[in-house]
Amino acid sequence: MLGHAIAPQPPSAQELARNLRSASRFPARDLIVRHWALLTTIALLIAATLGTVRVLLDHTNPITPIIGPVGAVFGGMFVYAAMILFVDRVVAPIPTTLDDVAASQVSVRRREIARGVAEHVALVIAIASAVVGVLAVWGIDVFDPRGPIGRSAGLFIAILLATTAYRAVKLWLDQEIALERWAATEEEGQGATAAAIGSTTRLGTLLGIVRGFLLASIFIVAIMIALDELGVNIGPLFAGAGLIGIAVSFGSQSLIKDMFSGMFYLIDDAFRTGEYIDIGLVKGTVEKISIRSFQLRHQNGPLNTVPFGEIKKLTNYSRDWVIVKLPIRVTYDTSVSHLNKVVKRISAELLEDEDVGPLFLQPLKSQGVYDMEDSAMVIRVKFMTRPNDQFLVRRAVYAKIRETFHAEGIKFAHRNVTVFVGSLDGQPVTPAQKAAAGAAIAPVVEDEAILQTAEEEDEGLPQP
């Protein structure tokens, strides 16, 4: 029997085990399927060792105390198997046809939760049955309410209820979070909204925080109940916890402010994981949201951790749509009506482009003359895209405008500064006069550079 347990499984049994593991996502069943041979071997070795020792020591009835625990263990396994069969056939039947699976995704998810909870209960009851059987074989009266086992019945019930509640809440919230992330991925594949690209939904973000809070609460309550069942007076613990809570509340007002601010920001759906936001002090892509703070990854790489209470104003660049307005400097001899017709033709050609056309929410339009400068007439064009698509479209628009304007003879106006020098009376410009002209131009060039840098920082979005 020992050799058979240690021997490798035949191919058919291995294939059956793989099928069972792939069909089950429950740890208890997976553990038994993977390691049944090892568990059986350990049980047989313990039984053989203890039986040999009792025979050598000439104990009376040396076999029953050894074979009994082994039988109790296998009896517990039989109870577990019977309860699992009852769960799979009655409590949460496994769908056998494609029509049953496709009938209702909600019912399938509820069935998985029910199976997980029922299997957990079955495992705990099976282990308790095996322990009771072992103790009964060893001559311990497990049904005596005054004995140590009888007094521990309340503790066992508390552990069963706490672990069952923990398992149920964890299964439910894990499935909801996975479903929300799957929905966001589907929206990304369909190109529904740029806000869904690389981000979970608001519900998925909130559920991640709620899950941690609920599981911690279940754990604390279970500890309190277990201590009470063991005879520990937990009244002073509550009193001490109350005093500590009052002291902490006075010393952690900013922490409470951060937590409540974060909760309301998430309820208001101000931002989600994966979205690009600007809160004034810092800007970047939201990478992680916790109870009191969140992390922003700047487009240049730095990771900033920001408490919720520090947010005074928040700008979200990843919602719904983006309008991009591009100024174009042309010379004063340009015909505005002709330029508008050229822009309209460029817009039609871009819409027909296979790569850029689907990214437009509104086509490229000319807004006419926007400004009149010393050396140029500024024409402005605009278009609308989804967030993060504007960079690719902007590059295509600039390239198409340059190519078409060159073909149509429309000239771009270059920035220049006119310096008036005093009467030269036909004399050439001296080096000193050239230096004076350069000094006059320098402030203008510097102001233009500062303005351009400020515009780039204001835009500040991560570009592909």
Torsion from C-alpha of 73, 76, 77, 81, nearest 10 degrees: 170
Question: Per-residue confidence at 419, pLDDT binned at 50, 70, 90?
Answer: low
pLDDT, residue 380, reads 92
Instruction: Please give the Cα distance from 397 to 359 (Å, whole number).
Output: 12
- Quick one: DSSP state of residue 412? B
CB 151 within 8 A of CB 196: no
In the predicted model, is pLDDT for residue 211 greater than 60?
yes
What confidence tier does 342 reach under pLDDT thresholds 50, 70, 90? Answer: very high
Domains 267-316 and 322-430 share a fold: no
The CA-atom distances, in angstroms, between 410 and each of 333, 364, 365, 389, 397 are 9, 18, 17, 28, 16
CA distance 335 to 331: 9
Q: What pLDDT was estimated at residue 363? A: 92
Cα-only R_g, the chain? 37
Query: pLDDT per residue over 35-81, tens digit each?
Result: 767 777 776 777 677 667 666 666 555 555 556 666 776 777 777 77
* Token pair recorded at residue 209: 């925080």
Q: Strand pairing of 276-278 and 315-316?
A: antiparallel
Of residues 392, 401, 382, the one with CA closest to residue 324:
382
pLDDT of 21 above 70: no
Helix or strand (DSSP H, E) at 379: strand 377-385
Mean per-residue pLDDT over the chain, rounded: 73
Cβ atoms of 306 and 282 within 8 Å: the answer is: yes
Contact 68, 134 (CB under 8 A): yes
Mean pLDDT of 290-294: 82
Picking from 328, 252, 330, the residue whose alpha carbon sits closest to that of residue 291 is 252
Q: What is the DSSP string of 225-249?
A: HHHHHTT---HHHHHHHHHHHHHHH
More confident residue, 8 or 213: 213
Give the pLDDT score at 140. Answer: 65
pLDDT of residue 382: 93
Class level of CATH domain 322-430: alpha beta
311-327: b (≥16 Cβ within 10 Å) or e: beeeebbbbeebebeee
Q: Give pTM, 2 decimals.
A: 0.52
Mean pLDDT of 198-212: 62
Tokens 């104990």 belong to: 59
Whether 398 has a pLDDT exceeding 90, the answer reads: yes
344-375 pLDDT, tens digit each: 999 999 999 888 889 998 999 998 888 888 77
Distance CA 447, CA 374 (A): 15
CA-to-CA separations, 236 to 230, 267, 395, in angstroms, rounded:
15, 37, 69
Q: Which CATH number fits domain 267-316: 1.50.40.10, 3.40.50.2300, 2.30.30.60, 2.40.50.140?
A: 2.30.30.60
Q: Domains of the chain: which residue ranges?
A: 63-93+105-188+195-250, 267-316, 322-430
What CA–CA distance (Å, rounded) separates 91 from 24?
16
Residue 195 scores a pLDDT above 50: no
75-132 per-position pLDDT tens digit: 777 777 777 777 777 766 666 555 555 554 545 666 677 777 777 777 777 777 777 7
**In terms of C-beta density within 10 A (0-12 exposed, 13-18 middle, 19 or more buried), how is residue 416 classed?**
exposed
